[in-house]
Amino acid sequence: MALVNTTEMFKKAYEGGYAIGAFNVNNMEIVQGIVAAADHLKSPVILQVSKGARAYAGHNYLMKLVEAATAETDVPIAIHLDHGPDFETCKSCIDGGFTSVMIDGSSLPYEENIAVTRKVVEYAHERGVTVEGELGTLAGVEDDVVVEAGNESYTKPEQVEDFASRTGVDSLAIAIGTSHGAYKFKPGQNPQLRFDILEEVSKRLPGFPIVLHGASSVMPEYVEKINAHGGKMPDAIGIPEPMLRQAAEMAVCKINVDSDLRLALTATIREQFDLYPDHFDPRQYLKPARQAIQEVVEHKMLNVFGCAGKA
Ligand code: G3H
Ligand code: 13P
Ligand code: ZN
């Protein structure tokens, strides 16, 4: 199936009370693992590319990998720019074949966020590309921006109607207590999300797709496996799966996951190196790593996001 934008996916997800998984891609094995899961479970999927991923693999390589994936399956796939930092990056992705972009003006003053988001929307919509904007800032690391815990700010519900109507965005990322990276909550902390803010936002924007970033659960089995095979990751707690399920049943139509894929990939490669110290053919350890990515994505689609069978 040809690449699609997010309009249809989000409409069905909103009405059906589920969310689409948006998974970050950086190389062939990650693309293949995610798409194999989507194909197996007949789920729509969003493959997202950060500025760092474009710098690492190159726009053309990632674009061609995703195009190759569409030839292997009938499920709808969107290719999305994650955390677009400025108009030029969004334009370059739109011109280069992306079907969806995020313009992340969340760290700008409000009026500047509106201005840059509006500019991206005008350019994107003329070309059939959907746009995600953001209000509120998450803690954690995204690309080269670090927001220390304590400096994050929740989305202000009283801004969302004004922002959505003046920018024309197709979806809105909000900050309700999720954060980027593998260290979201410390052991002993009780993870909480501000469902009251999500509720208030969706009352003010009925039928409008909301996006959750920083939604990895930091799956303990992979952290344990990394540490069992020579790694040194501090204990960490991610977003509990029941909370993500609840968000997916509400207005959240897109849930972003990167860290859980990184953990699964790293855990599997470390285990392979321990089990088979004589292996040196990359295919020997990348094949199980790709399989682990598929397992994580299938688990999320089937047991957490509810998008399995919705293609
Ligand atoms: O939110 C950020 C994503 O996890 C992408 O991470 O910028 O290191 O590629 P990255
Ligand atoms: P995680 O770090 O929780 O996987 O979040 C990824 C993300 O939000 C990408 O935009
Ligand atoms: Zn993010």
> What global pTM score does this model have?
0.96
Contact at 8 Å (CB) between 13 and 82? Answer: no
Q: Which amino acid is at 111?
A: E
Residue 25, domain member (yes or no): yes
Distance 252 CA to ligand 2 centre (A): 15
Number of domains present in the structure of the chain = 1
> Where in the sequence is the domain holding 123, given as residue range(s)?
7-226+234-259+293-305
pLDDT at site 1 = 83
Helix, strand or coil for residue 81?
A: strand
Residue 273, domain member (yes or no): no
Both structure tokens of 177: 């207590």
Pick the catalytic residue from 39, 74, 82, 95: 82
Residues 193-200, mean pLDDT to the nearest whole number:
97
Nearest CA to ligand 1 atom 7: 143
Task: Tokens 């040194």: give the residue.
Answer: 232
Q: Across-strand partners of 46?
A: 22, 78
- Does ligand 2 have an atom closer than 6 angstroms to the CB of 102? no
Go through 248-258 and write b for each residue having 16 or more CB atoms within 10 A of its CB, e for each that does not: bebbbbbbbbb
pLDDT at site 119 = 98
- Helices 28-41 and 59-70 sit at what angle, rounded to 10 degrees? 30
Q: What is the pLDDT of residues 64-104, one digit of tens each?
A: 999 999 999 999 999 999 999 999 999 999 999 999 999 99
Q: Does residue 149 carry a pLDDT above 90? A: no
Burial of 12 (0-12, 13-18, 19+ CB in 10 A): middle
Residue 274, domain member (yes or no): no
Residue 265, domain member (yes or no): no
Residue 266, domain member (yes or no): no
pLDDT at site 146 = 63
Please report, for the domain that includes residue 52, its CATH number. Answer: 3.20.20.70
Q: Is 39 a catalytic residue?
A: no
Residue 281, domain member (yes or no): no
Q: Rounded to whole angstroms, how far apart are CA atoms 306 and 160? A: 26
Residue 206, domain member (yes or no): yes
pLDDT at site 150 = 63
Atom of ligand 1 at shortest range from CA of 214: 1
Q: Which of 180, 222, 237 has the most ligand 2 atoms within 8 A of CB, as the residue to mutate?
A: 180
Residue 310, domain member (yes or no): no
